[in-house]
């Protein structure tokens, strides 16, 4: 006899306003892209619009129906979520394994006094549960259940009771000026604007109308002719897109990061930000796996850096709400005390950086030259005169190798291991010893020829696409000594999950 997924305690349904939010989400993710695509693709697709509209309607109804089959309930040691229509799914998340709690609240959420709750553990690339939409009283019950069942990091817990502790000042707050600078640096509106522009260019009528409108708006002239006119049209359109993206990126930054505040409370970091859409994140400090400082050439021009973190688990912006920032943008002198407030044993000001092998510059130049010569070789074979000038960039290859080798370095002490590298885009990654899961030694044929090797430190949920601890061009003697010390330290430390 089969068993159904029945709760041990009374289940809780989503808020009655949930179908509205699910319907809006379906419009944004399904219907709106289809409408835009068909609008710019010509009249032929409109003739088949009833079929597409039927699919969109079916998908929307199916999404709304999910509301009636979504349940969750709180047990003494876990939260249980049941979902699915034909194929049912039951997810049980022990409170002690909950890593991050993210809360999203838009203007519409605030109107109905509800929020969306995302619960993450250290497993998988998706959140363990996304509960949309719950009332504020249900949110309080969830937070209280998790708070009562999670252990607090002893090193961060206050000695006296919570009621006796005065409210601490924020670790970090972001100024309006830095939010504007963040928008200038990251250009978050460039991709969506380019996508919209690309779709618009699929329609010849819209392309001519848009080009004529922009030119007349800027120069009060229209209808350029000839090759030079077409080039000028294209140049003006590109400049207008870049200007619009630059201005819109600053607006997006203010909407996203308005009021950014980072606080520390009972061994947890509490982050809050957002203007129209408010995002709150609750992150236990002991769950932080890696700290990363990033700076681009734009960061350096404005005298700023970005501090982010990695926690166990691989939730991305495509699969859930993501909270990775500790300081989206800050002055370099602000980061050492902030890092030390979060991890008292990491003192960036006292970090002793050690250079890589003295052969690192020469080896990187040879590697860069081999790759670029291969890329240049094929077009040069067909267009020798036109592509031969690319070889004049060889001095830039040497400059890149020299700049990279000059900045690249590593640090290793009894508390953490760190690595820094980059030229135009620089990164510094730090990992505490008790967060290390595996240590890899790497050796290529070129490493053996130069008596070199590499060391790669892995943590739970590490994103290898971003800057991480992967130290190349180490002398073999130095590499083996460091590996032996790290192995001994890791084996004698207690891994903190």
pLDDT at residue 418 is higher than 90 = yes
Residue 156 falls within a domain, yes or no? Answer: no
| pTM of the full structure | 0.80
Q: Is residue 3 part of a domain?
A: no
What is the per-residue pLDDT for 221? Answer: 46
| Short-list 365, 363, 338, 362, CA closest to 349 | 338
199, 98: one domain? no
Q: Write down which residue in 347, 368, 403 finishes a domain.
A: 403
Domain that holds residue 238: 184-256
pLDDT, residue 189, reads 76
Which of 256, 291, 319 is the last residue before a domain boundary? 256
16 in any annotated domain: yes
Residues 317 and 436 in one domain: yes
Over residues 257-264, mean pLDDT: 93
- pLDDT number for residue 101: 84
Please indicate whether residue 124 or residue 61 has the higher confidence score (pLDDT): 61
Q: What pLDDT is recorded for position 142?
A: 87
CATH of the domain at 50: 2.30.29
At 257, the pLDDT band (50, 70, 90 cuts) reads very high
**Alpha-carbon distances of 40 from 35, 200, 204, 406, rounded to whole Å:** 9, 6, 9, 51
Give yes or no: residues 275 and 287 share one domain.
yes
Task: Indicate whether 308 and 338 sit together in one domain.
Answer: yes
How far is Cα 106 from Cα 276, in angstroms, rounded to an integer? 6
Buried b (16+ CB within 10 A) or exposed e, 250-262: bebbbebbbebeb
Identify whether residues 94 and 208 lie together within a single domain: no
What is the CB-side half-sphere exposure of residue 255 using CA atoms within 13 A?
A: 13
> Is residue 388 within 8 Å of residue 381, measured between CB atoms?
no
Q: Of all residues in the chain, what percent carry a pLDDT higher than 70?
A: 72
214 in a structural domain: yes
Q: Looking at the 3D structure of the chain, how many domains does it have?
A: 4
Assign 217 a pLDDT band (cuts: 50, 70, 90).
Answer: low
| 224 and 293 fall within a common domain | no
Over the stretch 375-396, which tens digit does the pLDDT of each residue have?
Answer: 887 777 666 666 667 777 889 9
Among 339, 371, 403, the domain boundary falls at 403
Sheet containing 129-135: which strands, arranged edge to edge? Answer: 129-135, 114-120, 100-105, 278-284, 268-273, 261-265, 172-173
Q: How confident is the model at residue 251, as a pLDDT?
A: 92
332 and 252 housed in the same domain: no
Pair 367, 421 in one domain: no
pLDDT in tens, 118-138: 888 766 567 777 887 888 888
Question: Most confidently modeled of 19-23, 53-57, 142-146, 442-446?
Answer: 442-446
Residue 290 binned pLDDT confidence (cut-offs 50, 70, 90): very high
Do 130 and 245 belong to one domain? no
Mean pLDDT for the stretch of residues 443-458: 93
Percent of the chain predicted with pLDDT > 90: 37
- The structure tokens 């961060």 sit at 156
pLDDT at residue number 43: 47
């Amino acid at each position: 006899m089969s068993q159904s997924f029945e709760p041990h305690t009374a289940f809780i349904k989503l808020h009655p306003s949930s179908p509205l939010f699910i319907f809006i989400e379906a419009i944004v993710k399904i219907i709106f892209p289809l409408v835009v695509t068909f609008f710019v693709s010509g009249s032929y697709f409109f003739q088949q619009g009833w079929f597409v509209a039927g699919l969109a309607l079916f998908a929307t109804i199916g999404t709304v129906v999910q509301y009636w089959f979504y349940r969750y309930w709180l047990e003494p040691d876990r939260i249980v979520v049941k979902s699915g229509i034909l194929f049912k799914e039951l997810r049980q998340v022990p409170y002690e394994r909950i890593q991050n709690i993210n809360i999203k609240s838009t203007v519409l959420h605030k109107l109905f006094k509800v929020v969306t709750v995302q619960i993450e553990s250290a497993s998988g690339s998706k959140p363990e549960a996304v509960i949309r939409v719950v009332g504020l009283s249900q949110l309080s019950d969830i937070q209280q259940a998790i708070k009562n069942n999670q252990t607090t990091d002893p090193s961060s817990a206050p000695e006296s009771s919570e009621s006796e502790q005065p409210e601490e000042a924020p670790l970090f707050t972001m100024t309006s000026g830095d939010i504007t600078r963040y928008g200038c640096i990251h250009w978050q509106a460039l991709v969506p604007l380019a996508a919209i522009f690309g779709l618009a260019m699929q329609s010849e009528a819209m392309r001519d109308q848009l080009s004529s409108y922009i030119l007349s708006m800027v120069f009060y002239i229209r209808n350029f002719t000839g090759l030079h006119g077409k080039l000028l049209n294209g140049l003006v359109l590109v400049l207008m897109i870049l200007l619009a993206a630059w201005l819109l990126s600053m607006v997006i930054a203010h909407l996203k990061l308005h009021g950014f505040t980072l606080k520390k409370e009972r061994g947890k970091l509490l982050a809050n930000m957002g203007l129209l859409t408010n995002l709150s994140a609750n992150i236990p400090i002991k769950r932080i796996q890696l700290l990363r400082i990033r700076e681009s050439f734009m960061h350096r021009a404005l005298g700023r850096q970005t501090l982010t973190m990695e926690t166990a688990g691989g939730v991305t912006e495509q699969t859930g709400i993501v909270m990775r920032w500790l300081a989206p943008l800050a002055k370099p002198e602000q980061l050492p005390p902030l890092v030390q407030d979060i991890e008292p044993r990491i003192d960036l000001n006292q970090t002793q950086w050690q250079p890589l092998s003295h052969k690192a510059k020469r080896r990187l130049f040879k590697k860069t030259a081999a790759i670029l010569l291969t890329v240049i070789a094929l077009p040069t074979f067909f267009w020798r005169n036109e592509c031969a000038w690319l070889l004049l960039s060889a001095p830039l290859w040497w400059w890149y190798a020299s700049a990279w080798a000059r900045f690249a370095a590593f640090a290793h002490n009894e508390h953490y291991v760190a690595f820094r590298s980059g030229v135009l885009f620089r990164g510094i990654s730090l990992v505490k010893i008790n967060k290390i899961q595996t240590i890899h030694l790497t050796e290529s044929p070129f490493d053996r020829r130069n008596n070199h090797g590499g060391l790669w430190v892995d943590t739970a949920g590490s994103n290898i696409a971003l800057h991480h601890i992967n130290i190349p061009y180490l002398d073999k003697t130095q590499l083996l000594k460091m590996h032996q010390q790290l192995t001994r330290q890791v084996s004698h430390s207690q891994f903190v999950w």
